[in-house]
């Protein structure tokens, strides 16, 4: 039975909307709408147990998963939701050991997710033109033990002529406003018959990127969106939730082919 | 550049509805509605290239991914779709290295998917009461290199009193008609604050299993369904597809807690 | 060109979330987050024109439709959304001239909607056990000119043994927590092969009511839910809306048959 | 109790997928996969009763509704589904008595639906440039008693300069590939603050038409799609249907305003 130690991360879970991921530091307090929690009281408890706040509410002490770390990341840039992360993984057939290139680091949510799967023998190379995003992403990643499986690079891939591009990627993900501008570069880095996925928030991007994929000799092109509907299960009163996640993004998938 | 060899698997891809995953055996022929393909002609080609059938149609030679292997499995039992596999993974925060127990082996699709992620240091233990299912699943898995990360067991967990249950699983998945019957056993095998997911094709199962989770001291219970809508992207004529995947299953997620 | 007169209803429209349906009364003012509107300034304007608030914002002067009146009704009880109203109508084949019975008056939203279609030669009979609901519904209806096509009755249909039930209804709608309790009565009032629709917020109601319909000799049973997804159309940036209407209700439809 | 007479229409209902709408003609036979039905045996039966085919299957004798007539229409052109018809009606607040203009007659499905609501004091004017469509639509309508509420016109509205356009329509519906080409004409025919709806199968049409609506002084623009999910209700085994209706069309709604 693993006990909660100082300096480890914990997810304080009250309910779906009230949960807090934080690092346990003896002496600290967490102030919430359902009461105050002293970090000191948490140390030595077993994961999964619950404590009572000073407002007499139960809060569960959960060991955070990658899901929790990803959901916590909400810095300046648009995040990629777990539903979309999951589909990217299952549709591309990503496996532990794969080499992945991520174009557009963003908040590092996808970076982190990809690394958690490809480790320990695979690797994620992530590129962004914006050092600020890279710094945020690095900080986000630092909360986990995934650093060593990720290489951050500040480059503008559109103008990148270096001969030593990374080669033979199993998967390339793109999260840019204009994904078609990096498609030739992406193609060079992708292994034969390898997978590419672009995160496209608008339908116009979906259309334009799909056409670009055909021109650039990709096949098995699939454009999709992934919708999660949650269900409120109560005895004799089960129904879909009144609120749910709306639109997040469309996804465009394809595989590298050779037309000649 | 990797060339296609004899005895390797290939995905012959004509379009979304016509694709064939098969092993290349010199001398064999694949007969399809779009023509005949001689395996001999494929050997030595590079992945991603295309060949012309005797009916003058292009067929792409793709290196199959786990996705392709999973989609191919359509034996007697209900499969778990990639969209659901992906969400199981992202919601539970599954990582490479995790220990997973699967209750209800079924066709081995989920088994294979889980193993492809947790390898090389993680492991999947999969239980079924039906030897026939286990045999089918083993055969399905044998097409990949995932055997060594999977342990198949024919046991009826409901009556399983053995003291040496597997312990400390990061994730337990259940694919049974009556998932509530194994919940006490599952709980014993799950690490503190670990994740459980049940594949529930009916709403009645969702309701009953959710209630059972509360009684058995689980928290962060979430019931959901995952819907994929594909989009047909054509220049100036983009729209959602007329056909799509309908209902496959609902999913119930929770984490092990301790109420006392 | 019709001009706006005193004592007529108007929809002040700023945007989808900020719109106000009110009666024009000379001397009144409407105070909103986008500024103040003097009713006096509105009188004599043509419908569709816009005026400028004291905060320099445009507000449109629209002639309210039944849709607007229905959306405004938000009293104590759950409303039936336009998407569901529309499907009830189209699925049952409701026409002008039909005789309709509504069991469970609620806020009067459905009552009003049905009357707006069946008038001038059809009629809506609406029953509720709760005088308070009837009073609210009557007040809501009084804003329109539909009173004469609606008969309100305070009765408990479950115990209603009166021989003079209304007969030969083309359509019966039920909005009760336990719709199966009135099914025998409903059947007596429905014409042969006529349509019945029940508004069922939970799946458990859907299941129980459907089984009850089979037992009571109904056919063509169809259970459905109706989902609206709005789309934000902007030049080169079109996508589904981030927010949308979640679950409102399931609908169960059937037609009266004779099994013997 | 109304009995089935010769020359009346009937819906023979076996199940959701096997149903036949036909006119009863003494002497005729209906040959189906579930057996033969002699029209002679049907005459004099009451609506809702069931008969046994020569293959010993029950078939129900239902009085067709407008829904059934609309579902039967499947000629050459794309139909508008009941789910979309219903939403058009409820979103625009269409009422009995309204004056409606339909641009693009198509199969007459929407025409018929609109007429069934606006009758007896309202009217539907429907325009098409294709005489063939008009003829088909007229034939479809002739099966109902709605002829007298519909005026068919073969005109090309884009070039229509006649001074006597119909005026003051409560609602204008457009079902054309290029709805923006008739928007100025539509505007002239629409009453102030009246509603317009365009049936747009592609997202590109949605975007282009929406922009055109803004340019042409419309407000309350709403783009939406309407999704029906059916549910299979069975005792203890209720779930969404494996198959459902996919994409049919997007809808763009707006109201006529005056910007100056």
SS (H, E, C) C44-89: CCECCEEEECCCCCEEEEECCCHHHHHHHCCCCCCCCCHHHHHHHH
C91–D85 CB contact, under 8 Å? no
Q: Scanning every residue of chain D, which has its alpha carbon at the shortest distance from the alpha carbon of A206?
A: D203
Q: What pLDDT is recorded for position B72?
A: 85
Q: What is the pLDDT of residues D4-44, one digit of tens each?
A: 999 999 999 999 889 999 999 999 999 999 999 999 999 99
**Neighbours, chain C (3 or more CB pairs < 8 A):** A, B, D
Contacts of D207 in chain C (CB under 8 A): 233-235, 238
Q: B197 vs C166, which has greater pLDDT?
A: B197
Contacts of B142 (CB under 8 A, 6+ apart): none
What SS3 class is residue B42?
A: helix
Q: What is the DSSP letter of C147?
A: G
Q: Where in chain A is the domain with CATH 3.40.50.150?
A: 69-256
Q: Which DSSP letter does residue B209 get? A: H
At residue B138, the 3 state secondary structure works out as helix
Residue B260, pLDDT score: 80
In this model, does residue A175 exceed pLDDT 60?
yes
Q: How distant is the Cα of A135 from the closest Cα of chain B, in angstroms?
A: 24
Among the partner residues D204, D240, D241, nearest to B238 by beta-carbon distance: D204
Dist. CA B253–CA B66, nearest whole Å: 24
- Find out whether B111 and B126 touch, Cβ atoms under 8 Å: yes
pLDDT of residue A163: 62
CA-atom Rg of chain B in angstroms: 21
Model ipTM over 0.90: yes
- Return the pLDDT at C243: 78
Nearest-angstrom CA–CA distance, D33 and D45: 23
Q: What residues of chain D lie within 8 A of the CB of C113, using their CB?
A: 90
Confidence bin at B94 (pLDDT 50/70/90)? very high
Res. C79 pLDDT band, cuts 50 70 90? confident
DSSP A65-111: -HHHHHHH--SSSPPPPHHHHHHHHHHHT--TT-EEEEE--TTSHHH
CA distance C134 to chain D (A): 23
Q: Do A247 and C247 touch (CB under 8 A)?
A: no
Q: How far D101 CA sits from the closest chain A CA (Å)?
A: 31
Closest C-alpha among B251, D105, C15 to residue D114 = D105
Q: The domain A69-256: what is its CATH number?
A: 3.40.50.150
Nearest by CB to residue A240, choosing from C237, C243, C247, is C247
Instruction: Give the phi and the psi of residue C45 in degrees, each rounded to 5.
Output: -75, 160
Per-residue CA distances from C10 to A239, C16, C39, C73, D124 (Å): 36, 15, 10, 15, 26
What per-residue confidence (pLDDT) applies to A73? 80
Pairwise CB contact (< 8 Å): C48 & D230:
no
So what's the pLDDT on residue B14? 96
The enclosing H or E element of B192 equals strand B190-200
Which residue out of D200, D202, D203 would a mutagenesis test of the A interface target, given it has the greatest number of A Cβ atoms within 10 Å? D203
**Residues C31, C21 contacting (CB under 8 angstroms):** no
Closest CA to A255 of A13, A93, A47, A60: A93
Contact state of A95 with B1 under an 8 Å Cβ cutoff: no
From chain A, pick out residues whose CB is under 8 angstroms from the CB of D244. none
Is D120 buried (19+), middle (13-18) or exposed (0-12) by CB count in 10 A? middle
The pLDDT tens digits for C141-154 are 999 999 999 999 99
SS3 B132: helix
pLDDT at A164: 66
Does the distance separating the beta carbons of B240 and D246 come in below 8 Å?
A: yes
Stretch(es) of chain D classified as CATH 3.10.330.20:
9-64
Strand, helix or coil at D203?
helix
Give the pLDDT confidence score for residue C158 in this predicted structure.
79
Longest Cα pair distance anywhere in chain B, in angstroms? 71
Residue of C nearest to D114 (CA): C95
Residue in C closest to D235 by C-alpha? C207
Identify whether the C-beta of residue C238 lies closer than 8 Å to the C-beta of residue A200.
Answer: no
pLDDT (tens digit per residue) in B53-75: 999 999 999 999 999 999 888 65
Q: Which chains touch A (3 or more CB pairs under 8 A)?
A: B, C, D
Alpha-carbon distance values, B137 to B33, B130, B173 (Å): 29, 11, 16
Mean pLDDT of D172-197: 96
Mean pLDDT of C209-220: 97
Chain B / chain C CB contacts < 8 angstroms: 3
Please give the CATH topology (third level) of the domain spanning C9-64.
Vcp-like ATPase; Chain A, domain 2 (3.10.330)
Residue A120: asked if its preceding bond is cis (omega within 30°), the reply is: yes
- Report which secondary-structure segment, H or E, holds D138: helix D131-142
Instruction: Decide if D99 contacts C104 (C-beta within 8 A).
Output: no
- Residue D192 tokens read as 């102030």
Q: How far is D67 from chain C (nearest CA, A)?
A: 5
The model's confidence at residue B162, banded by pLDDT at 50, 70 and 90, is low
For the segment D200-223, the average pLDDT, to the nearest whole number, is: 97
In this structure, what are the phi and psi dihedrals at residue D90, rounded to the nearest 5 degrees? -75, -35
Rounded Cα gap, residues B213 and B202, in angstroms? 17
Those residues whose C-beta lies under 8 Å from the C-beta of residue B132, and which sit 6 or more positions away, are none
Residue A36 has pLDDT above 60, yes or no: yes
Question: Mean pLDDT over residues C39-51, rounded?
Answer: 95
pLDDT category at D164 given cuts 50, 70, 90 is: low
> What is the model's pLDDT at position A217?
96
CATH number for region D68-256 = 3.40.50.150
C-alpha C87/C-alpha D171 separation (Å) is 19
Q: For C174-199, what is each residue's pLDDT tens digit?
A: 999 999 999 999 999 999 999 999 99
Residue B245 pLDDT more than 70? no
**Would you give the DSSP letter of residue B172?**
E
pLDDT at B2: 83
B105 close to B137: Cβ distance less than 8 angstroms: yes
Q: For residue C244, which residues of chain A lie inside 8 Å, CB to CB?
A: 246-247
CATH 3.40.50.150 residue ranges for chain C: 68-256
Q: Is the pTM of this model over 0.80?
A: yes
Q: Is A213:A172 a contact under the CB 8 Å cutoff?
A: no
Angle at C116 between CA C111 and CA C117, to 5 degrees: 105
- Cα D63 from Cα D57, distance rounded (Å): 19
Please report which confidence band the pLDDT of residue A94 belongs to, taking 50, 70 and 90 as the band edges: very high
Q: pLDDT band for position A77 (50/70/90)?
A: low
Q: What is the pLDDT of residues D29-82, one digit of tens each?
A: 999 999 999 999 999 999 999 999 999 999 999 999 999 999 888 655 567 888
Whether the pLDDT of residue A30 is over 70: the answer is yes
Closest residue of chain C to B202, computed from CA coordinates: C203
More confident residue, A161 or C229: C229
**φ, ψ for residue D142 (rounded to 5)?**
-65, -15
**Tell me, what's the pLDDT at B159?**
77
List all residues 6 or more positions away from D37 whose beta carbon is below 8 Å from its beta carbon. D12, D29, D30, D51, D53, D59
Confidence band (pLDDT; 50, 70, 90) for C163? Answer: low
Closest CA–CA distance from residue A116 to any residue of chain C (Å): 28
Q: Which residues of C touch A (CB under 8 A)?
A: 201-204, 225, 229, 236-244, 246-248, 250
Mean pLDDT calculated for residue range B145-151? 96
Query: Reading across the β-sheet that carries C58-62, which strands appear in turn?
Result: C19-23, C9-13, C58-62, C50-52
Would the pLDDT of D244 be above 70?
no
Residue C3: which residues within 8 A CB-CB, separation 6 or more? C44, C45, C46, C47
User: Residue C243: which of A237, A239, A246 has the nearest Cβ?
Assistant: A246
Q: Look at residue A76 and tell me whether its pLDDT is greater than 60.
A: no
What is the interface size between A and B, counted as CB pairs within 8 Å?
Answer: 228
The two tokens of residue A156 are 């503008």
Question: Residue C247 is nearest to which of A236, A239, A247, comparing CB atoms?
Answer: A239
**Averaged pLDDT, B202-209:** 98
Instruction: State both tokens at C183.
Output: 């099914």
Residue C67 dihedral angles phi and psi, to the nearest 5°? -55, -45
Tokens for A158, please give them: 């559109």
Q: Do D223 and C234 touch (CB under 8 A)?
A: no
Residue with tokens 């129904």: A239
Query: Scanning every residue of chain A, which has its alpha carbon at the shortest distance from the alpha carbon of C241?
Result: A247
Please report the number of interchain residue pairs, chain B to chain D, with beta-carbon separation below 8 angstroms: 49
Three-state DSSP at C93 gives: coil
């Amino acid at each position: 039975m693993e006990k909660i130690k100082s300096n480890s991360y914990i997810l304080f879970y009250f309910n779906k909307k009230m949960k807090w991921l934080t690092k346990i530091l003896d002496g600290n307090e967490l102030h919430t709408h359902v009461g105050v929690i002293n970090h000191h009281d948490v140390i030595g408890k077993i994961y999964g147990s619950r404590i009572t706040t000073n407002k007499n509410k139960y809060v569960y002490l959960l060991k955070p998963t990658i899901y929790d770390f990803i959901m916590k990341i909400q810095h300046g840039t648009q995040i990629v939701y777990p539903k979309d992360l999951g589909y990217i993984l299952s549709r591309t057939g990503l496996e532990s050991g794969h080499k992945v290139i991520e174009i557009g680091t963003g908040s590092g949510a996808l970076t982190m997710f990809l690394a958690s799967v490809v480790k320990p023998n695979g690797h994620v190379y992530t590129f962004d033109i914006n050092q600020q995003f890279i710094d945020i992403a690095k900080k986000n990643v630092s909360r986990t033990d995934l650093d060593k499986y990720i290489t951050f690079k500040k480059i503008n891939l559109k103008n990148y002529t270096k001969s030593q591009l990374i080669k033979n990627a199993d998967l390339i993900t793109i999260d840019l406003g204009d994904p078609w501008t990096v498609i030739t570069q992406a193609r060079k880095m992708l292994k034969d018959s390898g997978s590419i996925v672009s995160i496209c928030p608008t339908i116009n991007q979906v259309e334009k990127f799909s056409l670009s994929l055909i021109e650039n000799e990709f096949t098995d092109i699939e454009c999709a969106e992934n919708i999660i509907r949650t269900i409120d299960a109560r005895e004799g009163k089960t129904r879909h939730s009144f609120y749910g996640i709306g639109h997040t993004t469309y996804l465009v998938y394809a595989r590298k082919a050779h037309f000649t």
